[in-house]
Structure 1
Amino acid sequence: MSTTASRRRPTWAGRNYTLLTASAVVTSLGSNGALIAAAFAVLAVGGDAGDVGLVAAARTLPLVLFLLIGGAVADRLPRHHVMVAANVLNCVSQGAFAVLMLAGEPLLWQMMLLSALGGTGQAFFGPAAEGMLLSSVDGEQAGRAFAVFRMAMQGSILGGAALGGAMVAAVGPGWVLAADAAAFAVAAALRAFLDVKHIPPRAPGGGLLSDLREGWREFSGRPWLWGIVVQFSLANAVVAAADAVYGPLVARDHLGGAAPWGLALGFFGGGTVVGALIMTRWKPVRLLFTGTLCVFPLALPSAALAVPVPVAVLCAVMFVTGVSVEVFGVSWMTALHQEIPEEKLSRVSAYDWFGSVALVPLATALAGPAEATLGRPEALWGCAALIVVATAAVLCVPDVRNLRRRTSRAVTGSPAADDRPEGVEPEVVEPEVVEPEVVEKA
């Protein structure tokens, strides 16, 4: 049976990759439904929009605080142990949330505490999971493997949100939270079977603080890393403000309500799936240059909302944006896999996650005052302009323009001369420095 199954899988879809993809789909289905369920759980016990925001902030704050520590821990300990422990924590916290909801009326502080535990688990899980995924594939098919993984993830995000919304309406938020807890339990069991024999033993280090200092040196020494981190810190922040604050308001005032806005978000999700599908075939040579060019369309939704355009045009804009953002996402993961030494992957991923979420709470908090001061259309045009300016600035970094795809990944993560395609000059990368990194851009 195992031989037959392995024959059916592509050569790049090894055991670890298959387990990681399957477990990620399971948790993504549960978690995206649970995000909806948590909001409705707060409302079901009499909470208002402010209480919903407090519960959401309780999850985000520990995620920001512990991400860099989570990356250092995942590079020091076996990553699959960190992943399983984080999944168990998420299972317990979501299970307790479900029990409180099904048994009666949970208090706001209880929901905030359990959400904070979930965010803490995610802070340790995220860097470990990305490091494990990046180390699970090798060779020139890595880009295709990442594209398939991201396609599965985007599909499960869409499915999880739709299924979660339907389940909340049918059986209530408590049972959706219970289903999420069960999903974490299943994922923890799958991840416990990951094979880490191929990963070299960790060399003794100088402690957690030393690892964090080393991570900062790695990060600050790579212009293409910190440049794209800054770019996406800004881009993700203004996109969050546009999507979470301005989008629903524009939909209410001009597009006909929540249903058209949900449809537009669905088209964005569909675009990400199509973008990942495209990247299973397309292998751009100039990874970061191509990917960064595909970030410019991220400004289009804010501009479309500023006009505002009809629903059909907005859906088309969101679809194109989803496609282009996913081209960047796959190119970025391929670049990290190619350039980052295996023992640094989780710290690099921690900077990626940190850059993705650090400015989001501030941007969403300032969205209302910005609208009151400038006006909604002006604030949205400002969001679009900031994305364009930040992306254009990143293209001024030579390494972003010059980094090229290689056919294989050196064991140390440094470029190997005989791995470069014929006629391709070596990248402008300083060999002594290694990289921690940057953003979650999709």
Structure 2
Amino acid sequence: MMLQRLAASVELLRTNGGYRRYALARISSTIGTTVAPLGLAFAIIESGGGAAALGLVLMGGLLIFLAVTPAAGVAADRLPRLSIIVACQLVCGMSQLIAATLVVTGTASVWSLAGLEMVAGAAGAFFQPAVKGLVPQLVPPGPMLVQANALLQIANNAVAIIGPGLAGLVIALSSPGMILAWDGITFLASAAVFLTLRLPPPLRQERRRFLDDLIEGWSAFKSRRWLWVLTVLSALTSACWAAGVSVLGPIYATRYLDGAASWGLVTSAIGIGLACGSVTSLLFPPARVGLLMCAAPIPEALLMVSMASDAPLLALAGAGVLTGAAGTLQLITWTSYLQEAIPTEQLSRIMATNAMIGTLLVPISYAVAGPLAEIVGVRAVLGGCALIILGGAAVAVCFRDIRQLITCRTREER
């Protein structure tokens, strides 16, 4: 069976030219976006900013993303998705090239970089629901859809493991502006490849008011209890990850480990887990979607419990591997299931709503994690995050329709 799935994946790449070009376009931009945060951080530092300035820039991009996402989902269901994708890649590419020019010439300021990051955040909000809604137009439903998402994630994870180290070397030898320029070029290359795609003409739909489409998308989302319950669970786990790993992780490593070297080992372990989870989803695609969605956050809670209890570094690395594997397995399975279960004409709005609610608590976590840790301690916040994650998963698994959620192909086999 495993060899059959490998052979099917190779066949997908060999015979489906549309998916092959889609994957190449996605990987092209990922090569840049993986290293861009490092370039942005050091560009802000060179411009005279510190941690607060970096947080301001990242927060601005995220808030714009949240504000624009509902409209982006409607647009992706109303307009040609490929046109939206190409336009977003061009906007992101030009904004990064402008930022690179400002950094290299020494004229960048925190505010100019923040403004360009907000432009990129808005473009990213339109890009995500459109690009995820494109896959079902290229790959037939069923096992091939899971394989398509898994193959793309494997490539993305490989880039994520290699890219940051190379970016650090480039910054040390030249300028963070070179990383931003590289990101801009990869966006433009991605747009060029996307332009080569040939899609079947979309079904003609009745033209309605924008607000009507927005309301319909929200109604379609909330009418599926399994969907909004699992989205709320995703919001809780994302918020805890932002607080416990993104904000407090480096602080924990500085106070209780050996600093950046030890934390680098943990994050590398997470990266290894991401790669393992991608391969697992390709070779052994899960059938029980609901149970997987409830079980996948448990390793994240384990990582935070290990940190809160001062577990040895090796134990933290092991928990990191499990966390990365569970997270990427969950992402691939969930994306594939939505692409199968949601009608194409509603898919982008559902994806956008899922992304918006799933990210809604992250800005709050960024804002309160540090001050709360100063009051009650880093370990206490980490332990609290673990309890929130486990509590959310326990509540979600109590819903019968979630426990019975299985892939469409498994339902057909039955």
Asked if 2 retains the 8 angstrom alpha-carbon contact of 1:29 and 1:159, the reply is no
The residue that corresponds to 2:256 in the other structure is 254
Q: Secondary structure at the match of 2:319?
A: helix
Corresponding residue for residue 282 of structure 2: 280
1:193 aligns with 2:185: no
* SS class of match (2:407): coil
Report if the CA contact (8 A) 1:62-1:119 is conserved.
yes
Task: Give the aligned partner of residue 263 of structure 1.
Answer: 265
Q: Contact 2:28–2:190 at 8 Å: present in 1 too?
A: yes
Structure 2 CA distance for partners of 1:244 and 1:407, relative to 1, 3 Å: closer
Any conservation in 2 of the 1:288–1:331 contact (CA below 8 Å)? Answer: no
What one-letter code is carried by the residue in structure 2 that aligns with 1:181? G
Secondary structure of the corresponding residue to residue 195 of structure 1:
coil
Match of 2:287, SS state, is coil
8 Å contact 2:133–2:339 — kept in the other structure?
no
- 1:130 and 1:238 mapped to 2: Cα distance? 25
SS in structure 1 of the partner of residue 42 of structure 2: helix
**Of 349, 360, 369, which aligns to 2:362?**
360
- Matched residue, 1:142: 145
Q: Which has the higher helix share?
A: 2
Task: Kindly state the Cα deviation for residue 141 of structure 1 after the two structures are TM-superposed.
Answer: 2.4
The one-letter code sitting in structure 2 at the alignment partner of 1:260 is S
Per-residue CA shift, 1:298-332, capped at 9, x if unaligned? 21121111112222211111001111222212221
Q: 2:64 aligns to what? A: 62
Other-structure match for 2:334:
332
Q: Deviations over 1:361-419 (max 9, x none)?
A: 101111123213322211110000000011111112222111222339xxxxxxxxxx6
Question: Relative to structure 2, which stretch is displaced further, 297-306 or 179-188?
Answer: 297-306
Displacement after TM superposition at 1:222 (Å):
0.4
Deviations 1:54-90 (CA, angstroms, capped at 9, x unpaired): 1112211211110111111011111110000000100
Instruction: Tell me how far apart the structure 2 counterparts of residues 266 and 282 of structure 1 sit (CA, whole Å).
Output: 24
**Whole-Å Cα distance in 2 between the matches of residues 134 and 264 of structure 1?**
36
User: 1:94, 1:178 within 8 Å by CA — same for their partners in 2?
Assistant: yes
Amino acid at match of 1:168: I
Matched, 1:181 2:181: no
Shift of 1:159: 2.5
Deviation at residue 52 of structure 1 after TM alignment? 1.2
Partner residue, 1:421: 413
RMSD: 1.8
Q: How has the CA–CA distance of structure 1 residues 134 and 297 changed in structure 2, closer, same or farther, with 3 Å as cutoff?
A: farther
TM-score (norm 2): 0.94
Say whether the 8 Å CA contact 1:32–1:164 is kept in structure 2.
Answer: no
User: Quick one: distance in 2 between partners of 1:209 and 1:15?
Assistant: 37
- How does 1:194-213 map onto structure 2 within 5 Å? 194-197=197-200, 200-213=202-215
Query: Identical aligned pairs, as a percentage?
Result: 30
1:89-112, Cα deviation, whole Å (9 max, x unpaired): 001100100111111231222111
Cα distance in structure 1, aligned partners of 2:204 and 2:303: 45
User: What is the 5 A alignment of 1:22-421?
Assistant: 22-138=24-140, 139-197=142-200, 200-407=202-409, 420-421=412-413
- Counterpart residue number, 2:11: 10
| Contact 1:250 1:308 survives alignment (8 Å) | no
**What is the alpha-carbon distance in structure 2 between the residues aligned to residue 136 and residue 262 of structure 1?**
38
Cα distance between partner residues in 1 of 2:285 and 2:36: 35
Q: Which deviates more from structure 2 when the two are superposed, residues 253-262 or residues 288-297?
A: 288-297
Residues 140, 406 of structure 1: 8 Å contact kept: no
What's the CA shift string for 1:245-293, capped at 9, x where partnerless? 2111110012111121122111101101111101111133222223422
2: CA distance, partners of 1:8 / 1:63 = 33
Gaps of 5+ in 2: 1-7
Within 1, Cα distance between the matches of 2:159 and 2:133?
Answer: 21
| Counterpart amino acid of residue 153 in structure 2 | R
- Counterpart amino acid of residue 119 in structure 1: G
What's the CA shift for 1:9? Answer: 4.4
Q: What is the number of residues matched between the two proteins?
A: 405
CA distance change for structure 1 residues 393 and 171 in 2, over 3 Å: closer, same or farther? same
